[in-house]
Chains A and B, each alone.
Chain A
Amino acid sequence: MRVVSALLLGCTVSDERDSAAGDGPPPVEHALADANNYRLGGTLDAPSTPVRAGDPGLTFDWSALSLDLQCHAVDPVADIDNVAFLAFPNKTEAEIEAGLQASNLEQVDLGGYVSAQPGDRTSVRLEEMSFFGTDVDIELLFTEGSATWLALLTTGDTVGVGARALGFVEPRNDVDTLTVDLSPNCGILDLDVDLDALEPVAVRSSGEATLGWAGLTVDAQGNPIELGNVDRVMLGHYPDHTPEELATAFLDLELLTDRVWEAETDGAYSVDLRTLTREGVAFGGFEPGGTWLFALRCSLCSNPAPVFATVLEPR
């Protein structure tokens, strides 16, 4: 797949490309542009818990977690694989929330990181955490005024990916609390999704279409796009939803339909829609009605929202 991608990038642009306007059939090849992309904004408002500073017995507890930050059901035992504790020395809670939402924090913003895998438990103590297996005395750093501290529960053990719950933890000398309850998280994330302003992409209803994203410059949040991070493409059919309705339920995209065709990019910057599969069956063409959404996804990005999504209009 990677080889084919490189070749396609080196190809001369065909005569059929980018001729969406007019009365003829839509082109086969489409060079996706920033104007085709949806817009993603929103706010994150994480809870904050003051606790006793510098105590290795500090306990993170999520035994009552039933809904994650996307308000999806979560099993506190089966779905939580990693607990991370992060220090941001030079950022306020508001700056971190904005940075997480906009995906523009850098590693240099991070002054401390430790984690633990809870297994079948629903709590871990600070003293159990390490830096990728290396023991660090993180409690010595966990002092009043040292940093803004964030606890993060994830599904999977990939750092920063698959967030299910999070909360700030404030080390204080005048507080005796030693437990952080990470259970209440539903509602802290408020997404603002705009699928109206984008320019839809006209495609042949036969499904004969190759979409290329090498020309994209920014992601849905307006950040410079890292095309190398795109590792999966998704085509979803929502027979009963308009784009406006999808925008209001954007966190539930994968719950609103089971008509999803996918493929891994293997480093390619384009895909032939007919190579996407659903339950092992290749995409055979567009059916009339409903909304067709094409998305580029990044499974290793902290923000689970697609970096690109557009509406396809079969003709």
Chain B
Amino acid sequence: MLLLLLACTAQPDPKLEDTGAATTDTPAPDDTGTDPVETGDGPSPEGITAEITEKVATVVRVRWTTPEPTIGQVEYGETASYSHLTPPSAEPTTEHEVLLLGMPADTEVHFRVRVEGGGLSDDQVIRTETLPAGLPTLLLTGEVQSWVGQYQVIPVQGTQNSVIVIDHLGRIVWYDLIEAGPNMMRAMVTHDRQSLVYCLAGPQDSLELGTIVRISWDAEDEILTPFPYVDHDMTELEDGTLAAIVVTEHAKYPNTADRIVEISPTGDIRDVYNAWDDPWLMEFYNEVSSNWTHGNALDWVPAENAYYYSAKEIGTITKIDRDSGEPVWHLNGRANTFTLVGDGALVDMQHQFHRLDDSMVIFDNGHPDRGWSRAVEYTLDEDALTAEEIWSHEHEPPIGVYAKGDVHRFDDGTTQVVWSTAGEIQNVGVDGTVHWQLNTELGYALTFVQVVSGLYEGR
């Protein structure tokens, strides 16, 4: 193998090739929300090296030096037009290192280094490597418009558990193969874009093994934080605080219910809400279910400083004031306190949802007796406690999603529907037109999906 390698390489490192193909000095389209640094007559980047990271075949590590401390960044992309841009280094330095994110596998990546007030390197090329076995094959139909330039973080359960990040072309640009065992419900890129976090619940009979995993983009750094009895879902606040559903017992009752627990970036733990203390939910307590609430989705809405928590056994979404921990209202299911206005129906059993200014889009699994699922949107009048169904989308042919399910409303009014157990994601217009669809092969289900506008800090 080595002989072959040497025989076919005319340059010291064929993976890092100076093509001289740079076509423009124009600042690249921006992936970070900041302008490219302006070059000048100062020092130029020296000793540029690039390598594919050891554990992620799609991530490129670029290093360079400058003779004096400088701010630097890298433009990169699949052509010398450079569609991506890393953030400028936070502080002037002489030793620079950045990771190029968002590139597909087995693809040439063009890049060049910009030094603020200094030089601009020539175009160079490195090829990302092939994906490992075990990742799902993604079958894409249609063309996405709603989230061009954005990414989706998708936990995958099945033949091989994994977390994947895809671009708008349905290509895997980041991945992590997860060992079987834990029940992985949620993965997300953190607000600061420095890492990803996973919520790994223990098996149902060993929930004390619950863990939060924080992993770096090159997958070299992995921090496991025990989070006993975490289950089903978690969310992240803008300051890095993680909040999760935690299963908890009660001294007077034989079974369990849910709490919402926060862990701050410094490790401080705070109980926010406890279903045992929610008098209205307690009206629907039953002894039959091992967890009589069975929380299955959790979101935080920063504009309201409120949590939204879905309890499967009751079929109800509860809005919770974060500061006081008090329930604000209950929507859907047996504990519903809203009055339905107009035609349509409220939901018996849902998973994830997307709270909008005046409405809420919900993945309605439906009771198993119904046999089919849908996405549905209600306008909510929180003062009058009225809800009106204004939009819904069903799958054709009808399918019943019996676990998970997620929705997301894009700015252009289209809705993403994640048919989790069916391994399918659709982008649906207001009129029900399916603009884009992604399917997995048999053996790969999806859980909750995070839409992220960029992979670097600043977005």
Contact = CB atoms under 8 A, between A and B. Distances in A.
Interface of A: 2-12, 14, 29, 89-90, 105-113, 130-138, 140-141, 146, 157-161, 210, 226-231, 265-269, 272, 275, 298-300, 302
A6 B15 contact: yes
A159 B159 contact: yes
Contact of B130 (A112, A210, A269): A269
Main secondary structure of the interface of B (DSSP, over half): loop
A189 to B, nearest CB: 18
Given A134-B204, A136-B403, A161-B159, A141 B371 contact: yes
Given A111-B400, A210-B4, A7 B15 contact: yes
Given A7-B15, A230-B133, 6 more contacts: A108-B422, A108-B423, A134-B403, A136-B402, A159-B443, A300-B133
Given A110-B422, A138-B402, A267 B133 contact: yes
A229 B421 contact: no
B204 A107 contact: no
B132 A108 contact: no
B99 to A, nearest CB: 17
Contact of A132 (B183, B400, B441): B183
A169 B12 CA distance: 62
B201 A133 contact: yes
A10 B127 contact: yes
B15 A90 contact: no
A262 B139 CA distance: 31
19 contacts: A2-B130, A3-B15, A3-B129, A7-B15, A8-B5, A10-B14, A11-B9, A105-B441, A107-B422, A107-B424, A108-B419, A110-B423, A131-B403, A136-B403, A140-B367, A141-B400, A159-B159, A159-B443, A228-B137
Contact of B52 (A3, A210, A229, A230): A3
B144 interface: no
B360 interface: no
Interface string B426-448: 00000000000001111111000
A230 B132 CA distance: 9
Nearest to A275: B1
A157 B180 contact: yes
Nearest to B444: A107
Contacts of B422: 107-108, 110-111
Nearest to A230: B133
Interface string B9-44: 100001100000000000000000000000000000
Contact of B442 (A109, A130, A138): A109
Contacts of A210: 1, 4
Given A8-B8, A228-B132, A229-B137, A90 B441 contact: no
A226 B139 CA distance: 12
A106 B440 contact: yes
A5 B402 contact: no
Contact of A107 (B135, B403, B443): B443
A291 B82 CA distance: 52
Contacts of A89: 397, 399-400
Contact of B439 (A29, A108, A111, A299): A108
Interface of B: 1, 4-5, 7-9, 14-15, 52, 57, 106, 127-135, 137, 139, 157-160, 180, 183, 201, 203-204, 232, 290, 294, 367-369, 371, 397, 399-400, 402-403, 419, 421-424, 439-445
A111 B57 contact: no
Given A267-B132, A268-B130, A90 B397 contact: yes
A226 B160 contact: no
A152 to B, nearest CB: 11
A290 B11 CA distance: 43
Nearest to A267: B130
CB-CB nearest 7 A-B residue pairs: A107-B423, A11-B8, A140-B368, A133-B183, A231-B133, A105-B442, A267-B130
B202 to A, nearest CB: 8
Given A133-B201, A158-B160, A267-B129, A108 B5 contact: no
B129 A2 contact: yes
Given A14-B7, A90-B397, A106 B442 contact: yes
Nearest to B232: A134
Nearest to B2: A4
Contacts of A265: 133
Contacts of B130: 2, 5-6, 227-228, 267-269
B14 A7 contact: yes
A126 to B, nearest CB: 13
A7 B204 contact: no
A267 B131 contact: yes
A45 to B, nearest CB: 20
B442 A160 contact: yes
Contacts of A108: 399, 419, 422-424, 439
A158 B160 CA distance: 7
Given A105-B442, A106-B440, A110-B442, A226 B137 contact: yes
Contacts of B440: 106-107
A270 to B, nearest CB: 9
Given A131-B403, A299-B133, A106 B423 contact: yes
A227 B105 CA distance: 13
A7 to B, nearest CB: 6
A107 B441 contact: yes
A6 B106 contact: yes
A4 to B, nearest CB: 5
A300 B134 contact: yes
